[in-house]
Amino acid sequence: MRHPTTTTTAITRLRRRVRTGIALATTSRLALVTAVLAVAAVGVARVFGFVFAPSPSWAIGLLVLALAGGWHARRRTPLDSSLAAHVDRRASAAGLVMLATERDVGPWREALRSRLDALELPAVEVARPLARIGAATALVAGLAFVPLPPATRTAPRQIAIQAALEKAREEIRSSVEADQLRPEEAVALAKRASDLEERLVRGDPVVWADVDSLNEARRQQEAAERGDAARMTASAASIAADLAAGESLDANELAEIARLAASLGLQPELSPELQSLLEALARHAESSRESGRTQSPLDMQALKDLGIDPADLARLAEALRAMGGTRLRHAARDGDLAPPELDELRKLLEREGRLGGEPGAGDLPSAQGGDGPFDPTPGEGDPNGRPGRGGISRGRGDAALDGTNDTELDTSTLRPERLTPGQPIPDKWEELRVLRAEPTPGARPIEPGGGTAGDGAGRATFHRDVAPRHRDAVQRFFTDSGRGRNRRLRRRRWRDNTVGPRPLFLLGPSGLPDRRVTRRSSGLRAQEPQKRR
């Protein structure tokens, strides 16, 4: 059953249709304009190398457009009086609809109701808005069928890892120059660092674990190099001691020192005679290993039967011990020599008479009268013993300087060494933050002056340092402008504290005060300006 149409119902139905039509038209226009702008923006972005592809998240824009259309329709909806006039005109009610919105029409109620029942409201236009929305959807969907340009992978700016790789390269170079790393091992480590840098350039992920692995490999190889140098130094010292005492030599120890010297690459640094001797030791060790016979101790006669001169062997032992000591000295100076290696080497050298004890207690000739060529740790001497030569805890330090020793050193057996390059001081500074700070004045105590003043006493009067915030006070009391300003401030305070109406100065045509007007409760009263005192 159809309910009778009233004036309010007809106006409400018309208002709803008007709002729906305005919302559809506004939303469709906004959708079409937004789609055109989006397609243009995506095209321009692709020209400049930025790739944007349509995604389902773009559907959120439709909700935003619908809300914008509804808000616009609510604001553009006509007033109820305009809607009533439109209903009256379409129903041919001759003003009864507008009259019914204001009061009861009385006997014309039935005639008005019959006309409202036969009223046909205008239909909402849907075709054009839907066409615009379809065109916008087609434009956005068309982007999905456009082939995307090949994405260019950009290398991430891993500045910290790049700096760590450069530092690792510098440490590898320094280790090679200090003879703590073999050249072939340094080349392999540098190749690993280059591979990591190429991965950074290509944009492949490089983590800190790769850099730590590179540094750990370098440290392990340096530790192995130091261990070989320590064993070679100890073996050379033992061989030199046995030769000096005329005892038999251990063949295994000779084979070990030949292997370590070849492993450390010390052959090019030896003289041709010592190189030949080292090769002879290596050949004897190789032949003994191939034959499988047990190597017996070698006395002086056995050495001569092998074509080895004991004096040349002693020179070789001294040279290898000096070279190994030089490498260990570099490691100890840089703090790379581990404490176990240091203690083991020190005990061995002390046993051979190279460190500690009374001078001459060792078996080596060089132990008479001083220190050896390598001293990893300070020795412990008797403070009441013989005078020392300047070392810590090496006897008394009161030895007289006689100046009888030769001042010219024999540099024929020395070889030049390249020092480790230092780290340059950065000359480019970056300003991180600027803070404002106010100096805090500190009162100085009053100290006695004149003859009662102590050494280095300050002033005899109390004073304070003037800070920048005290400048106004100084100018106020000690300058001419300050005195004038002080009088003006006092006069201004007196006027502000005066009880009564405040004067209002009006400027005349000449720009000077023309008349003073005083506000009172009864109105305005003009007064002649008084002469200022």
Q: Name the percent of the chain lying above pLDDT 70.
A: 54
Residue predicted with more confidence, 13 or 260: 13
In angstroms, the CA 420 to CA 178 distance is: 7
First to last CA, the chain: 97
Whether residues 196 and 323 share a domain: the answer is yes
In angstroms, the CA 98 to CA 111 distance is: 14
Query: What is residue 459's predicted lDDT score, i.e. its pLDDT?
Result: 52
In angstroms, the CA 448 to CA 233 distance is: 70
What are the pLDDT digits (tens) for 187-219? Answer: 888 888 888 888 887 777 788 888 888 888 888
Whether residues 99 and 195 share a domain: the answer is no
Asked if 39 and 139 touch (Cβ cutoff 8 Å), the reply is: yes
Provide the token pair at 27.
Answer: 């939303």
In 48-155, which residue ranges form alpha helices assigned H by DSSP? Answer: 60-76, 80-91, 96-100, 109-117, 127-142
Q: Is residue 78 one of the residues assigned to a domain?
A: yes
In angstroms, the CA 389 to CA 398 distance is: 9
Query: What is residue 332's predicted lDDT score, i.e. its pLDDT?
Result: 55
Query: Is pLDDT at 369 greater than 70 in this prediction?
Result: no
Asked if 190 and 174 touch (Cβ cutoff 8 Å), the reply is: no
Q: Is residue 463 one of the residues assigned to a domain?
A: no
Helix axes 310-334, 251-264, angle to 10 degrees: 50
Integer angstrom CA distances of residue 424 from 112, 226, 428: 101, 28, 12
Query: What is residue 354's predicted lDDT score, i.e. its pLDDT?
Result: 45
What are the pLDDT digits (tens) for 449-462? Answer: 555 555 555 555 55
CB burial readout 216-250, b (16+ within 10 A) else e: eebeebbbebbebbbbbbbbbbbbbbbbbeeeebb
Average pLDDT over residues 224-229: 78
Whether residues 39 and 172 share a domain: the answer is no
- Reduced to 3 states (helix: H, G, I; strand: E, B; else coil), residue 469 is helix
| Range of lowest pLDDT (108-112, 240-244, 482-486, 519-523) | 519-523
Task: Grade residue 501 by pLDDT with cuts at 50, 70 and 90.
Answer: very low
Backbone angles phi, psi at 369, to 5 degrees: 90, 20
Closest CA to 317 of 260, 263, 369, 355: 260
Among 373, 396, 431, where does a domain finish?
A: 373
Q: Is residue 132 one of the residues assigned to a domain?
A: yes
Judge if pTM exceeds 0.75: no
Q: Is residue 336 one of the residues assigned to a domain?
A: yes
In angstroms, the CA 30 to CA 65 distance is: 7
Q: What's the count of helices (H) and strands (E) in the chain, helices before strands?
A: 16, 3
Asked if 222 and 181 touch (Cβ cutoff 8 Å), the reply is: yes
Query: What is residue 512's predicted lDDT score, i.e. its pLDDT?
Result: 41
Whether residues 108 and 46 share a domain: the answer is yes
Whether residues 186 and 43 share a domain: the answer is no
Among 344, 373, 402, where does a domain finish?
A: 373
Query: What is residue 160's predicted lDDT score, i.e. its pLDDT?
Result: 80
Query: Is pLDDT at 339 greater than 80 in this prediction?
Result: no
- Reduced to 3 states (helix: H, G, I; strand: E, B; else coil), residue 506 is strand
278: Cβ contacts below 8 Å, ≥ 6 apart: 258, 261, 262, 267, 270, 316
Q: Is 248 left (phi over 0), alpha (psi -120 to 50) or beta?
A: beta
Listed ranges 14-28, 174-188, 235-249; the one with the highest mean pLDDT = 14-28
Whether residues 169 and 126 share a domain: the answer is no
Q: Is residue 494 one of the residues assigned to a domain?
A: no
Number of other residues whose CB lies within 10 A of the CB of residue 124: 16
Asked if 370 and 360 touch (Cβ cutoff 8 Å), the reply is: no
Query: What is residue 96's predicted lDDT score, i.e. its pLDDT?
Result: 76
Integer angstrom CA distances of residue 533 from 171, 468, 500, 510: 86, 36, 19, 22
In angstroms, the CA 112 to CA 119 distance is: 11
In the DSSP assignment, the letter for residue 124 is P
Query: What is residue 80's predicted lDDT score, i.e. its pLDDT?
Result: 78
Residue predicted with more confidence, 163 or 510: 163
Angle at 129 between CA 44 and CA 133, to 5 degrees: 35
307: Cβ contacts below 8 Å, ≥ 6 apart: 280
Total number of domains constituting the chain: 2
Closest CA to 192 of 171, 173, 168: 168
Residue predicted with more confidence, 221 or 381: 221
Beta bridge mates, 507: 513
Average pLDDT over residues 461-475: 62
Query: Is pLDDT at 72 greater than 80 in this prediction?
Result: yes
What are the pLDDT digits (tens) for 384-408? Answer: 545 554 445 555 555 555 566 666 6
Among 92, 116, 145, where does a domain finish?
A: 145
Query: What is residue 527's predicted lDDT score, i.e. its pLDDT?
Result: 43
Whether residues 127 and 14 share a domain: the answer is yes
Provide the token pair at 215.
Answer: 């540094």
Closest CA to 260 of 219, 290, 228: 228
374: Cβ contacts below 8 Å, ≥ 6 apart: 233, 321, 322, 324, 325, 326, 328, 329, 349, 354
Q: Is residue 378 one of the residues assigned to a domain?
A: no
Task: Grade residue 520 by pLDDT with cuts at 50, 70 and 90.
Answer: very low
Beta bridge mates, 517: 504, 526
Query: What is residue 253's predicted lDDT score, i.e. its pLDDT?
Result: 72
Distance of CA 11 to the CA centre of its chain: 69
In the DSSP assignment, the letter for residue 358 is S
Q: Name the percent of the chain lying above pLDDT 90.
A: 0
Residue 217 lies in domain: 157-373
In the DSSP assignment, the letter for residue 298 is B
Q: What share of the chain is helix, strand, coil (3-state, %, to 5)?
A: 55, 5, 40
Which residue type does 420 have? T
In the DSSP assignment, the letter for residue 82 is H
Number of other residues whose CB lies within 10 A of the CB of residue 91: 22
- Reduced to 3 states (helix: H, G, I; strand: E, B; else coil), residue 391 is coil
Whether residues 244 and 364 share a domain: the answer is yes
Query: Is pLDDT at 517 greater than 50 in this prediction?
Result: no
Whether residues 129 and 173 share a domain: the answer is no
Query: Is pLDDT at 297 greater than 70 in this prediction?
Result: no
Provide the mean pLDDT of the chain.
68
The total number of residues shown for the chain amounts to: 533
Provide the token pair at 265.
Answer: 């690459």
Distance of CA 529 to the CA centre of its chain: 72
Whether residues 295 and 164 share a domain: the answer is yes
Q: Is residue 459 one of the residues assigned to a domain?
A: no
In angstroms, the CA 151 to CA 139 distance is: 23
Provide the token pair at 437.
Answer: 């700070």
Whether residues 18 and 120 share a domain: the answer is yes
Average pLDDT over residues 261-267: 71
Provide the token pair at 512.
Answer: 């000077």
Whether residues 169 and 197 share a domain: the answer is yes
Query: What is residue 283's predicted lDDT score, i.e. its pLDDT?
Result: 73
Q: Is residue 214 one of the residues assigned to a domain?
A: yes
Query: What is residue 89's predicted lDDT score, i.e. its pLDDT?
Result: 76
What are the pLDDT digits (tens) for 155-176? Answer: 445 778 888 888 888 888 888 8
In angstroms, the CA 53 to CA 156 distance is: 23
